[in-house]
């Protein structure tokens, strides 16, 4: 005789938590990347390419595919790094890298201002 198995509450909660986790990660990722790209050189380049070519659909498709590919590289590298080192160390190194880039860009800006004043 075949008996129906009722799902336990834990399984339903896990599915519910997985859905919430998916939604949270998706919204956070979308918002972060969307805001980071606004006014970025990528957006400026796509505006310029659209203005020059007069083919906004082609530029959109090309830019979208490029962003998908670059994001894919980031995901693959992020997954590899997550397996290679502890999360805390990765966050520390990322923070140092961001500070280093900020200092470098600041130094370039100051250098540019000094040369423009002369």
Query: Are 23 and 73 contained in the same domain?
Result: yes
* Between 15 and 87, the higher pLDDT residue: 87
pLDDT band at 13 (very low <50, low <70, confident <90, very high): low
Do 90 and 101 reside in the same domain of the chain? yes
- The verdict on 51 and 109 lying in the same domain is no
Backbone angles phi, psi at 70, to 5 degrees: -70, -35
> Has residue 6 been placed in a domain?
no
Residue holding tokens 């970025």? 40
Shared domain for 80 and 93, answered yes or no, is no
- Is residue 44's pLDDT more than 50? yes
Look-up: residue for tokens 């961001």?
Answer: 98
Tell me what the mean pLDDT of segment 22-38 comes to. Answer: 90
Q: How far apart are the first and last CA of the chain?
A: 92
Domain boundaries, position 43: 11-84
Indicate if 94 and 79 belong to the same structural domain. no
Burial 11-28 (b: 16+ CB within 10 A, else e): eeeeeeeeeeeeeeeeee
Query: Does residue 118 share a domain with residue 66?
Result: no
**Are residues 38 and 72 both part of a single domain?**
yes
Q: Is residue 118 part of a domain?
A: yes
**pLDDT score at 8:** 45
Q: Read off the pLDDT band of 60 (50, 70, 90).
A: very high
Same domain, 106 and 118: yes
């Amino acid at each position: 005789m075949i008996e129906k198995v009722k799902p336990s509450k834990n399984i339903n909660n896990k599915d519910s938590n997985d859905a919430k986790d998916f939604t949270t990660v998706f919204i956070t990722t979308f918002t972060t990347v969307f805001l980071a790209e606004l006014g970025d050189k990528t957006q400026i380049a796509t505006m310029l390419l659209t203005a020059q070519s007069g083919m906004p659909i082609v530029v959109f498709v090309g830019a979208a595919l490029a962003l998908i590919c670059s994001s894919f590289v980031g995901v693959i590298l992020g997954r590899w790094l997550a397996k290679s080192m502890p999360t805390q160390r990765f966050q520390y190194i990322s923070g140092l890298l961001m500070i280093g880039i900020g200092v470098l860009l600041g130094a370039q800006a100051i250098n540019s201002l000094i040369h423009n004043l002369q």
